[in-house]
Chains A and B, each alone.
Chain A
Amino acid sequence: MINHEIPSPELAACEVHGMTRSSFILRGALATGALYGAGAVAPFVSAAFAQSGGGDAEILNFALTLEYLESAFYTVKGKQVGLSGQAKAYAREFGAEEEAHVSALTAAIKQLGGTPVAKPTFAFPVTNESSFLALASVLENTGVGAYNGAAPSLQSKAVLASAGSIVQTEARHAAAIDLLIGMSPTPNQGFDRPLTKTEVLAKAGPLIKTS
């Protein structure tokens, strides 16, 4: 499976750590990306596998932190900001769903024999509906990338199924929020880019005050 003809020089940089070097779908994605202008895919492959070890419980604890963040954002900050109309409806609905994710992840971590992280405190730099929605978009899209980036490292297929179920919901939230604020519901076009832990922390870290 090595030494395929490489149709595009960017592919040479497309390396999967500890995996085989050929990245079939992504190779295809890159080829179509070149055809359709779908954007850069090169960082994509490495990102999906750049998660360090630590096991399923650690990955889920990282996810739990993000879900705590989203949940607090919608349910607490959403009320403080004073939303209206569709924004208010989404905050209520999505907030409840993020809370359900928190509960599910907490239970899953315990089931794996791990200790769920404590709920951190957060500081959200938003003061009105439009800044609220802009940050909601960042959080939801980051959530999608975080789950997609971590999922291939999960050992348990049952945990993977749960993570998949959650990330689909995050993607739906992201699209709805993006549409509401006039942005593309598919910011990564045909292939959602997985994010590394570092990339996720760059977005979410500044919002976390204590943990």
Chain B
Amino acid sequence: MPSPATDESPPQPTGLVERLVRDDLDRKRFLKMAGTAGAASFGAFVLAACGSSKKAATTAAAPASTSSTASTSSTSDLAILNYALTLEYLETEFYNKVVKAGLFTGKVGSLIKDFGQQEMTHVEALKGAVEKLGGTPAAKPEGKFPINTASQVAGLAYTVENLGASAYLGQAPHIQNPEVLASALAIHTVEARHAATLGTLVKKPVTPDGAFAVPADMETVLQAVKPFLA
């Protein structure tokens, strides 16, 4: 576990979610808003977070609010999409590094490669979605992952995929646009398939939550991915 970033200024402009993770002030603001107003305040939160930043706001929210077709709902959808995009960037980078490390061969190796490629298609699709909604895709975060042995990496992949599945599940009820929702669901179940597959590889439960998968909110997920941000 790295020590949490405190007052260092970020070396360069970063994506929305990464900044959230790094910036305690923004995170507290988020918690407060999420606690009081619930999920409906995502859009407002994004704007608040931008306002509190001394750097020029480059997140999706600003362009969305000026687009003729944008609404408050598309603003919060944008925040969700950029959050998902950040997670997918991390997953993609993780699999890339795993594949490069050459820890897996044969059937498992090709599954790992497939999963990485599928995460990459999620990145491309989410980036496109943000742009179609009139937003600016979140910047690609710099990830760092402990990659040592095959079993350790498979265990980490299982954790990461379970997190991804619960993250999508946590956002689905907050998505306003039915097309965005349909697409998020299409990705959600693929993350679940990845998680289950890895579960069989590491002899962990295929359905760790039993019959009803448990969603995770943004704050929980961001805390969990924090160690993987460089």
Q: Which residues of A contact B (CB under 8 A)?
A: 1, 4, 16, 19-20, 22-29, 31-33, 35-36, 38, 44-45, 48-49, 90, 93-94, 96-98, 100-101, 104, 144, 147-148, 151-152, 157-158, 160-162, 164-176, 179, 184-186, 188-194
Contact = CB atoms under 8 A, between A and B. Distances in A.
A97 B213 CA distance: 11
B71 to A, nearest CB: 11
A166 B189 CA distance: 10
| Secondary structure of the B contact surface, majority rule | helix
Contact of A24 (B118, B173, B180, B185): B180
A167 to B, nearest CB: 6
Which one of A45, A161, A170 has the highest number of Cβ atoms from chain B below 10 Å of its Cβ?
A161
B165 interface: yes
23 contacts: A4-B132, A23-B183, A26-B182, A26-B183, A29-B121, A31-B128, A97-B210, A151-B182, A158-B173, A161-B169, A164-B172, A164-B213, A166-B211, A168-B188, A173-B206, A175-B194, A185-B196, A185-B197, A190-B118, A191-B121, A191-B183, A193-B186, A194-B186
Nearest to A96: B211
Which one of A1, A90, A175 has the highest number of Cβ atoms from chain B below 10 Å of its Cβ?
A175
A33 B69 CA distance: 28
B122 interface: yes
Contacts of A175: 192-194, 196-197, 206
Interface residues of B, number: 55
Which one of A32, A36, A157 has the highest number of Cβ atoms from chain B below 10 Å of its Cβ?
A32
A19 B183 CA distance: 14
Contact of A152 (B118, B132, B185, B210): B185
A192 B206 contact: no
Contacts of A144: 189
A167 B141 CA distance: 30
Contacts of A171: 188-190, 192-193, 196
A191 B130 CA distance: 17
B153 interface: no
Nearest to A18: B178
B188 A164 contact: yes
Contacts, number: 214
B117 interface: yes
A171 B187 CA distance: 11
B192 A168 contact: yes
Interface of B: 69, 111, 114-115, 117-122, 124-133, 165, 169, 172-174, 178-190, 192-197, 199-200, 206-207, 209-215
| In the complex, the 7 A-B pairs of residues with the closest C-beta atoms, listed nearest first | A28-B128, A24-B132, A25-B183, A28-B125, A168-B213, A100-B211, A171-B189
A161 B4 CA distance: 33
Given A152-B178, A166-B213, A191-B125, 12 more contacts: A24-B133, A31-B128, A49-B182, A148-B186, A151-B182, A151-B185, A161-B173, A179-B197, A185-B111, A186-B190, A190-B125, A192-B193
Nearest to B123: A32
| Secondary structure of the A contact surface, majority rule | helix
A68 B195 CA distance: 25
A29 B124 CA distance: 7
Contacts of B118: 186, 189-190
B198 to A, nearest CB: 9
Contacts of B212: 100, 104, 162, 165-166, 169
B170 to A, nearest CB: 9
Which one of B111, B119, B120, B197 has the highest number of Cβ atoms from chain A below 10 Å of its Cβ?
B197
B215 A29 contact: no
A12 B187 CA distance: 23
Contacts of A147: 185
B181 A151 contact: yes
Contacts of A165: 169, 212-215
Nearest to A94: B207
